[in-house]
Structure 1
Amino acid sequence: MSDQERIKVGQHIQEVEGLRPGAVRRTVLRGAQLAGLDQYLARAPLKSVRVSGELRDDGGHFTGDHICGTIRISARRVQGEDYGIPFRWGEVATVATSATTPEQAMQRTFVHELGHCLLYRLMEQEGREAVKALIKPVFREAVDMSRTVSERAEENWHEYFCETFSASVYHHRELTSRDPVGYRMVQQARALLEVDHGDS
């Protein structure tokens, strides 16, 4: 990958903590490019990406979150739990768990959290109720028709959007055939944010 293609700290992301320059950092940050967000993030950069050994809350270990433009990612990945699980539509815990390496799982978590970032920005732009009216009916239909990509996607409309966004990157063909309404929802959100998937 050339320097022109790379997601750059200082341009697309204001700062990165916990990921030294090198192959792992390139793998994780390349998720933004795979998601077609390079030009969008050049216009509206992330505040920061922070990677730590482990993220925990009252529910235990978790792999990532998004808070006000900051994405946190856990480097702790357990094979057979956080990655390395064969992909079966609707049966995996998350899209990230079907990655084959810890680094790829971190990348997929990054893309999922970018989905939260896009959703947050969309709500700022269009209003929470308008975005909810766009996504919640699609979420309900997908759950009722057993079309969600993962168990996480069944939790609520926010997680449905982010997992469907991740599926649009990593399981595009399956998404367009198994949840075409969800695919169109992601495309509509991209259009509202002026995110052309052709960015990458």
Structure 2
Amino acid sequence: MTIECITVSTLHNFRGNPLAEQFQLRYRSLIERQSWDVPYVNCMEYDQYDNPATVYFVWREYGKVKGVARLYPTTRPYMLKEVFPHLVSYEPLPSEPNIWEGSRFCLDKDLAPVQRKRVIQELVIAYLEYCLLHGITSIVGLMVPAYWKSVFINNGCPISWLGEYSVAGDGKKIRAGKLIINKEVLNSAKNKAGIFDNVLSFGEEHVMLQCS
């Protein structure tokens, strides 16, 4: 069980091109399946928050990307602040080095249900491990309520809401939320998943870092 933590500057530490493949997975998930109106090129989905500041979390099986998520600092212009500020009404929009935005949580549609759940759990744990290693105390973002529940809440990560429900352009309900990061939440997520080793990998030139 390994989640590859990739940035533009560390891509050389990984075999193949998982960065390009995660853009391709996002294209299949968001544009082909969900008909999102977002930019793409050569069957790769991207937006303005894909740049050298972005941190990607990639789950691969036999070299093929099957799951992805990303983090982005709120000290730069970010999605929730620029595109969906109306979703945040309970507290000010953050712009702090210890608060990052999570987004683009996508999975391959052909994953079996048991494996799908496992990939979700490992990606969530990778988020938590990375944040604890880098002094990040919370993640903000927006999701369909059912996804908040299946991805985070059901996996030991309580969410506090940042505002009321709204409706996206595709007619689905969405809501902004915040996940507080600490060792207790990481332990809760690992206990739920039955995972007790670290999942995060920074590539061939790095060793697995300890977070517990």
TM-score, length-normalised on structure 2?
0.26
Relative to total residues, which structure has the larger strand share, 1 or 2? 2
TM-score, length-normalised on structure 1?
0.27
